[in-house]
A = this chain, B = another copy of it.
């Protein structure tokens, strides 16, 4: 039984932790909140130097080719620090889209720039309020031209490239979908900033008017390709969520030990003790589910869809709970702008929505259970 990260991976995690606790303090997050800038450019530059974006990108595409387990430990630390950088969109979603659907030429052309952070990339799915469904996709990709509108695109203000879920034929269903790869630095591609619940992660509306774009992957496979990408991203994001949830527990504990009421630390009141115990239990379960997801992702196991859904649901529940009860444990000050609690509360929701709602993932999970039990 060897169900844990290796010593090397743990060492990488420690290094990432040390680096981020210096370079990505709550002050840095606050700076992005209050400056109105879309991300922390200085931090992004240093992450580029560390080569983190290329952790799981094979060496022949300019990555470090370390693998997904290494990327998972980095993700946990980024989540812990609430790093306000376009990492998840660029690495978990854009790069993985290329790896899943890209042609050899496309990978050769773009992945090295991703690995070096020269390119910020994103994945544009939603076109309005509600679930992303094949039949709701109105953006079209015909003869190399992209037309339509995408909303709530994370890091859309800074992305140089986007993978866009579009309709490539008259087929109004799943089979008609096509992933399009588009360079956003062209007249036909416009972007507009959108306000979001998490000011440390920028959102944008992207509008395409006869924008030049290229096909990514085969038509008809777009939907299944997209879901393969989302499964991978779900595992990686689960580590960010587990990291965030763990910090919330530590913050709540730290404050409860310091804060006195009625002549004793509030950490000695059962209401607080049991609240934190509940957080601990949820966090442990989420971590274990995330580990299984990491195993499935790193080995390309056929259990990945189930493991990814379980990791996603478990981590989302844990971070939601830890973030809101961390504020509650702090009381009034926890709800002030000056305290950092609300950064985690907002991020927990943002991550919980970014790859689709829990409902969608729970449904995927049970579908996988049905398949695995079908035999």
Q: A residues near B, CB below 8 A?
A: 269-271, 274
Contact = CB atoms under 8 A, between A and B. Distances in A.
A274 B271 CA distance: 8
Contacts of A274: 271
A250 B271 CA distance: 22
Contacts of A271: 270-271, 274
5 contacts: A269-B270, A270-B270, A270-B271, A271-B271, A271-B274
A271 B271 CA distance: 6
Contacts of A269: 270
Nearest to A274: B271
A60 B269 CA distance: 63
Give this chain's copy count: 2
A271 to B, nearest CB: 5
A140 to B, nearest CB: 36
A271 B269 CA distance: 9
Main secondary structure of the interface of A (DSSP, over half): helix
A270 B271 CA distance: 6
A270 B274 CA distance: 10
The 5 A-B residue pairs whose C-beta atoms are closest, nearest first, are A270-B270, A270-B271, A269-B270, A271-B274, A271-B271
A274 B278 CA distance: 15
A274 B274 CA distance: 11
A272 to B, nearest CB: 9
A238 to B, nearest CB: 30
Nearest to A270: B270
A269 B271 CA distance: 9
A195 to B, nearest CB: 30
A274 B272 CA distance: 11
A32 to B, nearest CB: 38
A241 B233 CA distance: 47
A270 B269 CA distance: 7
Nearest to A272: B270
A152 B271 CA distance: 42
A233 B118 CA distance: 70
Nearest to A271: B270
A240 B270 CA distance: 34
Nearest to A269: B270
Contacts of A270: 269-271
A270 B270 CA distance: 5
A271 B275 CA distance: 10
A50 to B, nearest CB: 46
A263 to B, nearest CB: 15
A368 to B, nearest CB: 24
A12 B355 CA distance: 59
A172 B269 CA distance: 61
Most buried by B among A269, A270, A274: A270
A78 B24 CA distance: 64
A275 to B, nearest CB: 10
A147 B274 CA distance: 57
A259 to B, nearest CB: 16
A170 B194 CA distance: 61
A274 B269 CA distance: 12
A179 to B, nearest CB: 38
A129 to B, nearest CB: 20
